[in-house]
Amino acid sequence: MRIKLFQEKTLEEDRAEIYYREMTVEIEKVCQLLEGATPQLYGLEDGQQILLKLEEIYYIDTVDKKTFAYLKEQVYQIQGSLSFLETALSQHGFCRISKANIVNIQHIHKVKSEPNMRLKVVLTNQEELVISRYYRKPFQNYLTKVRGILHD
């Protein structure tokens, strides 16, 4: 897919146009993202797709080029790259914390300091994830931003 971006300071309203030969899942996801709709994630279970509720996802992980959503007691393989999911889910409480992880901040129980300028998050199900040094500051900024939204 080819994408072209143009900045026009004289526009009264942002707009996007999408040209396609046939509607694909990828194009549907882009449309949902542009429309600000809540993304829908489907997990694979026994060859069937199961609609996952975003609020039930604790974190998303990538292993061997496969993406997985971790719920309280289940793990589902899902479609989409981590960078796409990071963008699509950032307005729904999800934040990138490492090269391979996105966490749902609603499921963070506590944040602990670790050696070498790292942080560790303990989730409400007691799982622990390490926030890499690279993602530490963006994570802290995201928390500050979300707290500001929640407290306004």
Q: Is the pLDDT of residue 69 over 90?
A: yes
Q: Which CATH number fits the domain that encloses residue 146?
A: 2.40.50.1020
Domain-located, residue 116? yes
Q: Is the pLDDT of residue 67 over 80?
A: yes
Number of domains present in the structure of the chain: 1
Name the residue among 38, 42, 40, 85 with its Cα closest to residue 61.
85
Confidence of residue 95 (pLDDT cuts 50, 70, 90): very high
The pLDDT score that the predictor gives to residue 23 is: 82
Displacement of CA 152 from its chain's centroid (Å): 23
Range of the domain at 96: 40-151
